[in-house]
C-alpha cells in the first residue's frame, strides 16, 4: 500500500463489481460469509465496491433490491439422477444463454466504469464471458478477478461419486467444470485461493505464478448478554457437543461417515446439538431415520438459528465437532470452532488450510470413525477446556480482518500498476 495521502486517495478510486450465485445481506453458509467479508474488506480499504447476486427465484427469500433473481428452470432440460449436485453449474451455463440474464449483467456493467469484475465461485463465468463478448470496442471492459472458494471440479467429482452417480456422469461434469476452471484461471488478471494447496493448483492450472492466498476466517462472537442467557436456557445443562453446518451435501456425507447410523455410543445425559441447514439433511437421511428413536434422544436439532443462537453455541459448547470427509477449499466452521476456545475434534480434511493449529491445546484430528467417536465420548466427560492468552492471541489470526488482508492490498497494487502503465 502507498504511504502518501495523495497516492491513497488515487488508489481509492478503484471500482470493483463482485458477483456470485447468492445474496450477502444475511450471510448464512460459508460462501456467503466469505464473500460478504471480502466486500467489507474492500470497502474498508477505500475501494468503491458493488455486489450483485444472481440466483434462482425461491432460493433466497431475503436479498437486496440490486440482486438479480432469475427463473430456476434449465430451459426445459430435465435433471438426471444425482445432477442436483451440479445444479449450480448447469444453471450457470443456462442463464448465460438467456437474454434476461445477459441484459441484467450488461446493465450493471454499463452503469459504472468498473476496473474489475470479481467472480466468487466459478459458475457465473459463462455469463460474464458472454456479456464481455457483447460489449462494443469503445465500451469500458473490466479486468477479471477469479475468487476461488474451492477447486470446483474436484469437489463436484467427489460429491457426485458419493451420491451414486455413474462413472460416465462424474467424468462428464468433472471435465466440463475443469474446462471452465482452467479458462477463467487463464483469463483472470487476479486469482485468489483459500488454501496453499489450492493456490499451487491454480497456479499450475492457469500457467501462472501469482495466485494470491487469502485464507478463510471468522468473526468474533458478539451478542447481548440477555440473548445469550435466553439461549442458555434452551440448551442442555450438561456438557454438550456442537455441530453447526449448512445444507451443503458433503456436510451430511461426512456426518454419517463418522457416526454411521446411530449415536448410541453417547450416554443419555450427553447430547449433540445440531444447528444450521444440515439439520434437515440429517433428519431426512435414511441412515438417521433407521435409528430415529436413539438419534432423536441423543440430539437437540435446532435447524437454522439466529446470530445470537450461533454466538451462544460458540460460547457454551463443550466440544465442537468437524466430521468433514468431502468437499474442497477450507471450512469456515473450522475457524469458528478454533476461536471458541472449546475442544475441537475434526478430520484431517476439516483442517485443510488450518494445519498450523493441529496439536494446539484441545485440538484433535481423528480420521478413523471409531477413534473420532471415542474421542468425543472422552472429551464430553472432561472438565471444560481453559486456554491461555498466548494461545488465544495465536487463534486471533483467524479473524477475517487478518486472513483477507492480502485481497484489497493486491487488488489496489494491480489497479495502481495499470493506472501508471
Q: What angle do CA 262, 282, 346 make, to 5 degrees?
A: 75
The mean per-residue pLDDT over the stretch 63-70 comes to 96
Partners of 56 in the beta sheet? 70
What does the mean pLDDT of the chain come to?
Answer: 92
Instruction: Provide DSSP, 102-126.
Output: HHHHHHHHHHS--SEEEEESSTTHH
% of the chain at pLDDT higher than 70:
97
Confidence category of residue 11, pLDDT binned at 50, 70, 90: very low
Strand, coil or helix: 179: helix
- The whole-number pLDDT of residue 5 equals 41
Whole-Å CA distances, 393 to 39, 198, 398, 400: 25, 26, 10, 14
- The whole-number pLDDT of residue 48 equals 97
Residue 375, pLDDT > 90, answer yes
Residue 195, pLDDT > 60, answer yes
The mean per-residue pLDDT over the stretch 387-412 comes to 93
C-alpha–C-alpha distance, residues 74 and 95, integer Å: 8
Query: Does the predicted model carry a pTM greater than 0.95?
Result: no
- The whole-number pLDDT of residue 172 equals 97
C-alpha–C-alpha distance, residues 273 and 185, integer Å: 40
C-alpha–C-alpha distance, residues 375 and 325, integer Å: 17
Domain residue ranges in the chain: 5-214+404-419, 225-399
Confidence category of residue 341, pLDDT binned at 50, 70, 90: confident
Residue 300, pLDDT > 70, answer yes
Residue 6, pLDDT > 50, answer no
Residue 296, pLDDT > 60, answer yes
- The whole-number pLDDT of residue 9 equals 44
* 219 burial via Cβ count (<10 Å: 0-12, 13-18, 19+): middle
Confidence category of residue 129, pLDDT binned at 50, 70, 90: very high
Pick the CATH number of 225-399 from 3.50.50.60, 3.40.50.2000, 2.40.110.20, 3.40.30.10: 3.40.50.2000
Partners of 52 in the beta sheet? 19
- The whole-number pLDDT of residue 1 equals 35
Q: What is the pLDDT of residues 221-263, one digit of tens each?
A: 888 889 899 999 999 999 999 999 988 877 888 899 999 878 9
C-alpha–C-alpha distance, residues 170 and 122, integer Å: 18
Residue 42, pLDDT > 90, answer yes
Name the CATH architecture for the domain at 5-214+404-419: 3-Layer(aba) Sandwich (3.40)
Q: Which residues contact 293 (CB under 8 A, 6 or more apart)?
A: none
Q: What is the pLDDT of residues 325-340, one digit of tens each?
A: 877 778 899 999 999 9
Asked if 5-214+404-419 and 225-399 have one fold, the answer is yes
Write out the three cell numbers for 200.
499451487
Write out the three cell numbers for 135.
460489449
* 109 burial via Cβ count (<10 Å: 0-12, 13-18, 19+): buried
Amino acid at each position: 500500500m502507498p504511504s502518501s495521502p495523495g497516492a491513497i486517495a488515487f488508489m481509492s478510486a478503484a471500482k470493483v463489481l463482485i458477483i456470485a450465485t447468492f445474496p450477502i445481506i444475511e450471510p448464512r453458509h460459508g460462501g456467503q460469509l466469505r464473500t460478504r467479508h471480502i466486500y467489507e474488506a474492500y470497502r474498508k480499504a477505500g475501494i468503491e465496491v458493488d455486489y450483485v447476486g444472481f440466483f434462482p427465484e425461491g432460493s433466497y427469500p431475503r436479498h437486496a433490491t440490486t440482486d438479480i433473481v432469475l427463473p430456476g428452470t434449465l430451459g426445459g432440460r430435465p435433471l438426471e439422477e444425482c445432477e442436483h449436485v451440479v445444479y449450480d453449474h448447469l444453471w450457470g451455463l443456462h442463464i448465460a444463454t438467456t437474454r434476461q440474464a445477459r441484459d441484467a449483467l450488461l446493465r450493471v456493467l454499463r452503469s459504472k466504469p468498473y476496473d474489475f469484475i470479481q467472480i466468487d465461485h466459478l459458475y457465473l463465468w459463462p455469463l460474464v464471458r458472454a456479456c464481455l463478448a457483447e460489449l462494443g470496442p469503445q465500451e469500458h471492459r473490466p479486468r477479471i478477478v477469479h475468487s476461488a472458494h474451492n477447486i470446483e471440479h474436484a469437489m463436484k467429482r467427489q460429491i457426485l461419486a458419493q451420491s451414486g452417480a455413474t462413472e460416465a456422469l462424474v467424468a462428464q461434469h468433472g471435465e466440463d467444470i475443469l474446462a471452465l476452471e482452467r479458462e477463467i484461471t487463464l483469463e483472470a488478471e487476479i486469482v485468489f485461493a483459500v488454501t496453499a494447496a489450492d493456490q499451487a493448483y491454480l497456479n499450475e492450472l492457469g500457467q501462472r505464478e501469482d495466485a494470491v492466498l487469502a485464507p478463510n476466517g471468522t468473526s468474533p462472537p458478539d451478542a447481548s448478554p440477555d440473548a445469550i442467557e435466553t439461549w442458555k436456557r434452551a440448551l442442555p445443562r450438561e456438557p454438550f457437543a456442537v455441530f453447526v453446518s449448512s445444507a451443503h451435501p458433503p456436510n451430511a456425507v461426512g456426518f454419517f461417515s463418522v457416526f454411521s447410523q446411530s449415536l448410541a455410543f453417547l450416554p443419555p445425559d450427553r447430547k449433540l446439538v445440531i444447528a444450521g441447514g444440515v439439520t434437515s439433511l440429517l433428519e431426512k437421511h435414511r441412515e438417521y431415520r433407521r435409528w430415529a428413536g436413539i438419534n432423536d434422544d441423543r440430539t437437540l436439532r435446532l435447524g437454522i438459528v439466529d446470530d445470537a443462537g450461533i454466538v451462544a453455541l460458540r460460547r457454551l459448547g463443550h466440544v465442537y465437532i468437524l466430521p468433514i470427509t468431502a468437499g474442497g477449499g477450507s471450512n469456515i466452521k473450522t475457524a469458528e470452532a478454533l476461536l471458541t476456545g472449546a475442544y475441537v475434534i475434526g478430520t484431517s480434511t476439516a483442517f485443510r488450510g488450518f494445519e498450523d493449529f493441529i496439536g494446539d491445546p484441545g485440538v484433535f484430528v481423528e480420521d478413523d470413525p471409531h477413534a473420532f467417536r471415542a474421542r468425543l465420548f472422552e472429551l464430553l466427560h472432561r472438565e471444560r477446556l481453559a486456554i491461555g492468552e498466548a494461545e488465544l492471541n495465536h487463534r486471533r489470526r483467524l479473524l477475517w480482518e487478518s486472513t483477507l488482508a492480502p485481497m484489497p492490498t493486491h487488488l489496489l497494487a494491480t489497479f495502481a500498476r495499470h493506472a501508471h502503465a
